[in-house]
Amino acid sequence: MKPDTLKRFQLLAEFSEEDREALAELLEERELSGGRSAFREGVAGEGLILLSEGRLTLKSDRSGSVVGALEAPAHLGAASLFSLGKREVSAFADGPVVVQTLLRTGLPRLMDDAPRAAFRLAEAVANELAGLLRQGLGAIVESDSDTER
């Protein structure tokens, strides 16, 4: 992936050109045809996935239904760079798809080769997780206030 292409991803918006170059060197690209799995529910998350082309359908084995979809540019699994855990859903290509993965094992190399880029990535992931937590807490507060009425 060309470093300039990484500008399209919101998670990487604060990266400098130098940061994007360092990250681009560590990404592993995969092309998937329609119906192929990008990852499976219950399997350990191996790292950050950047969906650079196409669309992924997200399915839950637990509910047996489609729970969402992502269109490029989008990312998944950022937290798995820092925390071990299993994927909560499966992702399937809805037509031709291109994904890049920054494996968890690539993060130490990024820290060694480009510490500023590694810090920016950690900061971006922390900000994203904090935003998701605020959304979740907001939904809980709204739900509690609805039940009190």
- In single-letter form, the type of residue at position 117 comes to A
Q: What is the pLDDT of residue 144?
A: 74
| Other CB atoms within 10 A of residue 137 CB | 10
Structure token pair of residue 109: 């190399």
Q: Quick: pLDDT tens for 25-71.
A: 999 999 999 999 999 999 999 999 999 999 999 999 999 999 999 99
Delimit the domains of the chain by residue range: 3-148
Q: What confidence tier does 146 reach under pLDDT thresholds 50, 70, 90?
A: confident
Q: Which residue in this structure is represented by tokens 């998350």?
A: 45
CA separation for the pair 116, 33 (Å, rounded): 35
Environment class of residue 144 by beta-carbon count within 10 Å: exposed (0-12), middle (13-18) or buried (19+)?
exposed
Q: Quick: pLDDT tens for 109-130.
A: 999 999 999 999 999 999 999 9
**% of the chain at pLDDT higher than 90:** 85
Q: What is the pLDDT of residue 42?
A: 95
For the chain, what is the mean pLDDT?
A: 93
For residue 48, give the 3-state DSSP assignment.
strand
End-to-end, the C-alpha distance of the chain in Å comes to 53
Query: Quick one: fold of 3-148?
Result: Jelly Rolls (2.60.120)
